[in-house]
Amino acid sequence: MIEHWKQRLLQLLKIPEVPHIPPGEEDHAEVFRPGKPYLLYLRLAWLPKQAIGLLVLIASAFWWHGWFLRYTSRLGYFSPETWYTIYLAIEAIAVIAFAVQALATWIALRWNYERRFYVLTDRCLRIQEGTWTFRERTFTLSRLQQVGLQQNPLQRLLGLSDIVVSTAGGGSKSKAEEGGGEEESLHAGHLRGLFDPIPVREHLVARMKAHLDGGLGDEASKRPESPPELLESIQSVRMEIQCLTALGSRLGTTPK
């Protein structure tokens, strides 16, 4: 039952269930996902935010309790019991709203983990991520300029790492879905939560170098060759210049 409604909601949000592989790359595409500890990492990062929100809710409830009852007792209109009932209704709405957002974000963590795909082919790297907002980004390997690793203390504890790839371009920014709402460059991509990132990184670096070396070789091999007629004409003009130079030397003049 839960799986049924989950699939219906995914269809409503237009979140693909399988990764999109670039056309023509199906035979040699490698699809991989974050390691299993990545879900635990997301949940551990989720807990402090919810704890802070709960503390704020409790503190505001005590403050609102004293201010609301003290202020409304001077207004009249209703009896103190009625005002207290209104206060409890407002607090109940706040508690329900907090519980709903906590449940929704908890479910989103699972979807974030399950719907995150990385597709690596001989030509490109594709990152598919997002829950409420789905994002699909493709990086051409021939345009990669840097491949690096990132690891915060919690990731080191869980044995996870992020691979960061960057391409040539400006510094325009977009909001990242996770990482505390931090901004990331539109010309940089993050392969988050990899359990064994070294083989992936080495493959990316190897493909990047192969494209760079291949690009230089291709440019040299694509230079047009001079036609034989042009070479003969240049040789003929060169011989005439040499003859005129020798004749000018005998006459004591140099042809202009």
* DSSP-assigned states of every residue in 60-125: HHHHHHHHHHHHHHHH-SS-HHHHHHHHHHHHHHHHHHHHHHHHHHHHHHHHHHHT-EEEE-SSEE
- Alpha carbon distance 162, 151 (integer Å): 6
- Whether the pLDDT of residue 225 is over 60: the answer is no
User: Measured between alpha carbons, how far apart are the two ends of the chain, in Å?
Assistant: 96
Binned at pLDDT 50, 70 and 90, residue 39 comes out as very high
Fold of the domain spanning 1-34+117-171+184-223: PH-domain like (2.30.29)
Tell me, what's the pLDDT at 134? Answer: 81
- Whether the pLDDT of residue 55 is over 90: the answer is yes
Question: Average of pLDDT values for 161-167?
Answer: 90
For residue 13, the SS3 value is coil
Name the most confidently modeled range: 200-209, 216-225, 240-249.
200-209
- Whether the pLDDT of residue 69 is over 70: the answer is no
Identify the residue with better confidence: 29 or 235: 29
Tell me, what's the pLDDT at 72? Answer: 65
Tell me, what's the pLDDT at 38? Answer: 94
User: How much of the chain, in percent, has pLDDT values that exceed 90?
Assistant: 21
Tell me, what's the pLDDT at 90? Answer: 85
- Alpha carbon distance 53, 160 (integer Å): 27
Question: Average of pLDDT values for 194-198?
Answer: 88
CA-derived radius of gyration, the chain: 33
Binned at pLDDT 50, 70 and 90, residue 99 comes out as very high
Q: Within 13 A of 73's CA, how many CA atoms are on the CB side?
A: 9
- Which of 184, 5, 177, 30 minimizes the C-alpha distance to 118? 30
